[in-house]
Amino acid sequence: MSGYRKNLGLAGLVSFGVGGTIGSGIFVVPAIAAAIAGPSSLLSWIIVALSASCVMLSLAWASSKYPSTGAFYSIFTKVFSKRTSTAVVLFYVIASVFGVATIASGIGQYVSFFGYLNVLWLEIVIIVLFGIINIIGVRPSGNIEILLTLLKTVPLVILAIVLFPYIQKENFTPFFTGKTDFLKAIIIVYWPFTGFEISAIPADETKNKKDIFTSLVIVILITTVVYLLLNIALIGSVGSQLLASSSVPLALAASRVFQASGNIMAVIGIIAMLSALNAYLVAASRVVQNISFEHRLPLLPDLSKSGTPYIAIIISTVAGASLLLFSNHFQELATISVIATLLPYIFICACAMKLFDKPKIRIVAAVGLVSTIAILVTSFL
């Protein structure tokens, strides 16, 4: 699409994907999942990792064949009608806007760790600030994303390694607190895995579109390894009951090793969520701009002189900030965001099954399709 500046390389795409995925979820959800399912919540993380990996591969193959800003619409319309494709894309826009609000709510939880309780307006100001950065251009937004992604990912790996010597076998028993509790935790566990698709969204701002496939694979590998190692270390070292009692589980776990490190981890949590917030605004605004362009809507498709969809960014920013005025509850916002995201994921897998003849691709897409549908159904049961 003319007007976009090709400023993003592989590092930028990976940082947006990792930034959107490793955000508020991993800093909050381990406690929620442990409260629901105890040690068996680890099964939830494994199941979701497998499902998300299949969805990611389906998107990687499809977006490599039909690369376009917004990613989804150009793929969906190759298989489904324009009306159906538009409806599914709008679900993703809703998911992204709720994602922005969810991440801001998670930032508030970690800020309150330092004793600041009235955080609503701070959350709104942060959303607006990153909206302004995104209007300035994708280059400053991308550079900030690379820095924030490094600042949050490396300490998470270090924390997992440091906690491993503190793992106690008794913290994993009894493994099952209920026969299907780990299934109940799946829908909230999916929240930390959403966001990997952001690597495929700014396609027309990418220097080499072949980097989209590579970036998606790198993102899901980093995310899966970090999440599984960290959750084993958290439950094994802290115990699911104590973990469930905290709204800042990573800060709690870090403080058991070195008391001052709890504050450090809280700061890293805030950095991680700022990174995710930035990535989600990029995703939401590009998808809004793309669907508006496809339907010839006035004003919304316009790009600024710096090549940013400034009106779409403003709408995404205002919508995300406004949601916090109606609900500032992390779990509620995250659940809605995940449910709205799973529908586009299902359609991505369905498209991959239709667009490719290779058995390997069809099998992976089928696993992603069936598992995502099952998780979506489970969320309502």
* 246 band by pLDDT with thresholds 50, 70 and 90: confident
CA distance 103 to 333: 9
- Mean pLDDT, rounded, for 308-331: 91
- Mean pLDDT, rounded, for 181-198: 89
pLDDT at 264: 85
- Superfamily holding 10-380: Amino acid/polyamine transporter I (1.20.1740.10)
Query: How do residues 141-156 score in pLDDT, each as one tens digit?
Result: 889 999 999 988 998 9
Q: What percentage of the chain reaches a pLDDT higher than 90?
A: 60
* 138 band by pLDDT with thresholds 50, 70 and 90: confident
pLDDT at 248: 82
CA distance 225 to 157: 9
Q: What is the pTM of this model?
A: 0.90
**CA proximity to 194, closest of 20, 376, 7:** 20
The amino acid sitting at 270 is I
In the chain, where the domains are located = 10-380
What is the average pLDDT score of the chain?
90
- Mean pLDDT, rounded, for 26-48: 92
Q: State the Cα angle at 218 between 1 and 184, rounded to 5°.
A: 100
pLDDT at 1: 41
Q: Is residue 2 predicted with pLDDT exceeding 50? A: no
Transcribe 315-378 into DSSP letters. HHHHHHHHHHHH---HHHHHHHHHHHHHHHHHHHHHHHHHH---HHHHHHHHHHHHHHHHHHHH
Query: How do residues 172-185 score in pLDDT, each as one tens digit?
Result: 988 888 777 888 88
pLDDT at 377: 87
